[in-house]
Amino acid sequence: MKLIAIPGSSRPILDDEQRPRSDERPSDDVVLRLQNVEVRYGAVPALRQVSMEIRRGEIVCLLGGNASGKSTTMKTIIGSVRPSKGSVRYDGRDITDWNTSRRVASGIAIVPEARRIFPRLTVLENLMMGAFLRRDRADVQADLDGVFEMFPRLKERSAQRGGTMSGGEQQMLAMGRALMSRPRFLCMDEPSMGLAPVLVEQQFETIQRLNATGITIFLVEQNATMALAIANRGYVLQSGQLVLEGTADSLLQNPQMQRAYLGT
């Protein structure tokens, strides 16, 4: 498999050319669609007429500054926030009124901002919490073995309490917990937050490896350069409204993006 370097690093990531570009995918192969979504916190609008599509097998990033509505979009997808207007569709079904548990059971999972592991539970107990809706015990064990293969450190520390692990290890644990639900659509909320640069690079490499297994990735991230380096497409939010969208390459070359988010 061909590799390219992450911008500013000598470390490789999977070549984006190895994945079908957005314009090579069938137009009806949409796994998740937000249509004219509006969310309000009391009288304050958080999202205004937000529409986006994510196709099967893509990595799509959502960019924007603080309080732009990124996390609210993520919460709307996972079901912890209900829109006041608009709809959320997943695999062709309207899931706007579904609760979070039903969405997780249908194949949607989240790696939340700030990881939010259970600090007093062991690594193994944290991982098994990700499988709490599953009844296929044999497959759960197989998936646990797969998580340990991807993150050997978690296996080494399976009896250690989650709260005693480093930030990078807790991020591995949060990702492993999400994978234990066997997701087909994985939301990742600010996965690089609070990590050292070398761990950020490893994090984005892992995201690409997960995507290569067939998992569709929706990535909310403030590190625009890193996110666009691995994404097929991106959206940009500002004050709850979409202001830009396009392929990763077109956003990287957009003068407005370069000034506001890429530091060029």
> What's the confidence (pLDDT) of residue 66?
87
> What's the confidence (pLDDT) of residue 199?
84
**Residue 214: left if φ>0, alpha if ψ -120 to 50, beta else—which one?**
left
Provide the 8-state DSSP code for 193. Answer: T
Q: Any idea where the domains of the chain sit in the sequence?
A: 28-107+184-264, 116-182
> What's the confidence (pLDDT) of residue 200?
86
> What's the confidence (pLDDT) of residue 149?
94
Half-sphere exposure of 230 (CA within 13 A, CB side): 32
Provide the 8-state DSSP code for 184. Answer: S
What are the residues facing 244 on neighbouring strands? Answer: 236
Q: Which stretch of DSSP H or E encloses residue 176?
A: helix 167-179
Task: Report CA torsion sign: 15, 16, 19, 24.
Answer: negative
In the chain, % helix, strand, coil (3-state, to 5) comes to: 35, 25, 35
- Cα 99 to Cα 124: distance, rounded to the nearest angstrom: 26
The CATH homologous superfamily to which domain 28-107+184-264 belongs is P-loop containing nucleotide triphosphate hydrolases (3.40.50.300)
**Residue 42: left if φ>0, alpha if ψ -120 to 50, beta else—which one?**
left
> What's the confidence (pLDDT) of residue 263?
63
> What's the confidence (pLDDT) of residue 125?
96
Residues of the chain with pLDDT under 50: 1-26
> What's the confidence (pLDDT) of residue 261?
78
